[in-house]
Amino acid sequence: MTTLQTRKVFGLIGRNVDYSWSPLIHNTAFEALGMPCVYTIFDIATPELVGDALRGARALGIQGFSVTIPYKKVVVPFLDELSPEAQSIGAVNTIVNENGRLTGHNTDIAGFAAPLLPWADRIRGKRVCIFGNGGAALAAIEAFRTLLRPSSVLLFVRDLHKADELLEGYGHRELVVPCRTGDLDLPLGSQQLQECSVIVNATPIGTSGRTDPIRSIVPTGRELFHPGQVVYDMVYNPLETTLLADARAAGAATVPGIEMLIAQAARAFFIWTGREMPVEAVRSVLMREIGQPAPSVRG
Ligand code: NAP
């Protein structure tokens, strides 16, 4: 039997990340493939400690990291190299340590696009929209630009200044049209949404255990969806959110957040190990776990 001492170590860097599904995902994959590896959580209390953590990782030979909120940008100055994807949005969600040389990647971009590829023809040259102005929204914008090529991306945000902040330094902002979520109450806003081939929720609205005044980022009961659309919710707990249930009832195709969760993890797994993640084994374990009543918010 392999002892812990001989295992390669991987982990998640973030803050307050006890809730994360990443250990379950990667340890299930390591076990299924019989690999002598273990994935754990490194909860880092403040941004000031991130540099120390990465210097320590080089010294300890930790093989790789996932990176999550709030450190996806914070890690960048401490890395030796960035992949073109990570460079394009200035954010890293995966780090690989090759003999002390740390390279940052961003697998959220390809991971977001993967479940949409079957609809690529329907998306190319058409308008799409994204709700949210955080890092996940920017990864989705870059995924659309590089892999799916819509004519434009409507970015629905509460505050247009925040959209400007998000897009500052992004090299392709001409693709993005910031819009206010409040405009959905106006006929033009509703019409813009109805004309989109894909609608993406990149906010936490709909996550189990939250107490937001709304249950879906798209107003319910307004007939805003139709069968020609794909509605994509990055939220993965619950498996079917109110947004997805409404979209499905209107005949739209739906993509649940668990698909992105698995796709981005599979790409990280390949970068670290050179092996394909056994995604069906991972999906069935995750479905079983997330399907359970959530003890707390898993955002
Ligand atoms: P973030 O940086 O915290 O951004 C969240 C965004 O949601 C903010 O821009 C916030 O806008 C917006 N928002 C919150 N409530 C809103 C509302 N009522 N109306 C409009 N906008 C609202 O988070 P993130 O990293 O971008 O992630 C966003 C979500 O995607 C999270 O739930 C995360 O778990 C999920 N995610 C899933 C995957 C996956 O693999 N499935 C991957 C990445 C992220 P304000 O700035 O106005 O507050």
Task: Give 99's pLDDT tier (boundaries 50, 70, 90).
Answer: very high
Q: Are residues 212 and 122 in the same domain?
A: yes
The model carries a pTM of 0.94
The token pair that represents 2 in the structure block:
């392999």
Q: Are residues 94 and 178 in the same domain?
A: no
Domain that holds residue 276: 4-106+259-290
Task: Give 3's pLDDT tier (boundaries 50, 70, 90).
Answer: low
Q: CATH number of the domain that 171 lies in?
A: 3.40.50.720
Task: Give 184's pLDDT tier (boundaries 50, 70, 90).
Answer: confident
d(CA 200, CA 233): 6
d(CA 140, CA 159): 19
Q: Is residue 139 part of a domain?
A: yes
Q: Are residues 271 and 142 in the same domain?
A: no
Q: Are residues 238 and 128 in the same domain?
A: yes
Residues 9-38 pLDDT 10s: 999 999 999 889 999 999 999 999 999 999
| Phi then psi dihedrals of residue 58, to 5 deg | -60, -45
Answer yes or no: are the C-beta atoms of 214 and 208 closer than 8 Å. Answer: no
The token pair that represents 265 in the structure block:
């993890």
Instruction: Give, using CA atoms, the residue closest to atom 14 of ligand 1.
Output: 203
Q: Are residues 79 and 161 in the same domain?
A: no
Q: Is residue 297 part of a domain?
A: no
Residues with a CB atom less than 6 Å from ligand 1: 69, 108, 131-137, 158-159, 162, 181, 202-205, 207, 217, 234-236, 257, 260-261, 264, 299
**pLDDT of 189 above 90:** no
Q: Are residues 100 and 128 in the same domain?
A: no
d(CA 219, CA 239): 20
Q: CATH number of the domain that 81 lies in?
A: 3.40.50.10860
**pLDDT of 298 above 50:** no
Instruction: Give, using CA atoms, the residue closest to atom 31 of ligand 1.
Output: 204
Q: Are residues 25 and 134 in the same domain?
A: no
**pLDDT of 123 above 60:** yes
Q: Are residues 117 and 25 in the same domain?
A: no
Task: Give 1's pLDDT tier (boundaries 50, 70, 90).
Answer: low
**Position with higher pLDDT, 1 vs 80:** 80
Q: Are residues 85 and 121 in the same domain?
A: no
Residues 240-263 pLDDT 10s: 999 999 999 999 999 999 999 999
Nearest to 150 by CA among 252, 250, 230, 88: 230
- The pLDDT, as a whole number, for residue 296 is 36
- The pLDDT, as a whole number, for residue 46 is 97
Q: Are residues 90 and 122 in the same domain?
A: no
Residues 56-75 pLDDT 10s: 999 999 999 999 999 999 99
Active site residues: 72
Q: Are residues 239 and 276 in the same domain?
A: no
Q: Count up the domains in the chain and report the number.
A: 2
Q: Are strands 101-105 and 94-98 parallel, antiparallel or unpaired?
A: antiparallel
- The pLDDT, as a whole number, for residue 19 is 85
In ligand 1, the atom with minimum distance to the C-alpha of 111 is 40
Average pLDDT score over residue span 119-128 = 97
Q: Are residues 269 and 209 in the same domain?
A: no
Q: Is residue 146 part of a domain?
A: yes
Average pLDDT score over residue span 90-118 = 97
Q: Is residue 299 part of a domain?
A: no
How many Cβ atoms are within 10 Å of 101's Cβ, its own excluded? Answer: 11
Query: Ligand 1 centre from 73 Cα, in Å?
Result: 16
**pLDDT of 281 above 60:** yes
Q: Is residue 282 part of a domain?
A: yes
Residue to mutate, 203, 220, 240, 283, ligand 1, most ligand atoms under 8 Å from C-beta: 203
Query: Ligand 1 centre from 98 Cα, in Å?
Result: 32
Q: Is residue 295 part of a domain?
A: no
Q: Is residue 243 part of a domain?
A: yes
- The pLDDT, as a whole number, for residue 145 is 98
Q: Is residue 225 part of a domain?
A: yes
Average pLDDT score over residue span 128-138 = 96
